Amino acid sequence: PFSEAEVQSARGAWEKIYVDAEDNGTAVLVRMFTEHPDTKSYFTHFKGMDSAEEMKQSDQVRGHGKRVFTAINDMVQHLDNTEAFLGILNPLGQKHATQLKVDPKNFRIICDIILQMMEEKFGGDCKASFEKVTNEICTHLNNVYK
């Protein structure tokens, strides 16, 4: 449940980072892999994961960064429709829980990196406008595991 004002400011914040979806999505993943190296264990089929420089050039990392950002963008387009928002989030959560077997603690990690990057690039208001979205995403992804 987002108010109209929250929807508008969250969309405005997200647009700033989403205009460079591939570069920024890749930067989020590279930061996750370097600051939390255990997260690389889910991507053993990705090549060139030994250094940040290699990862930034990797077509696999770049493609995945774009994919993650596209999924979040779909959610952001449906903040005003809980059913549609969860219709995107729940199947994605199911896949991460059952097929990919990702430890749910990692969702908070990646969301915090996105917020941190928003603050660095666009300032504290941008981050603040998007915090409720990442909280909703993390809450629902974690609920899928319960």
Contacting residues toward ligand HEM, per CB under 6 A: 39, 42-43, 64, 67-68, 71-72, 92, 95-96, 100, 102, 106-107, 110-111, 137
Cβ 106 to ligand HEM, closest distance in Å? Answer: 4
Amino acid at 106: N
In the block, which residue shows the tokens 């089929």? 45
CB-nearer residue toward ligand HEM: 91 or 123? 91
Cβ 141 to ligand HEM, closest distance in Å? Answer: 7
In the block, which residue shows the tokens 């996750």? 32
User: CA 16, 17, 22, 27: dihedral to nearest 10 degrees?
Assistant: 150
Cβ 131 to ligand HEM, closest distance in Å? Answer: 14
> 70 CB contacts (<8 Å, ≥6 apart)?
21
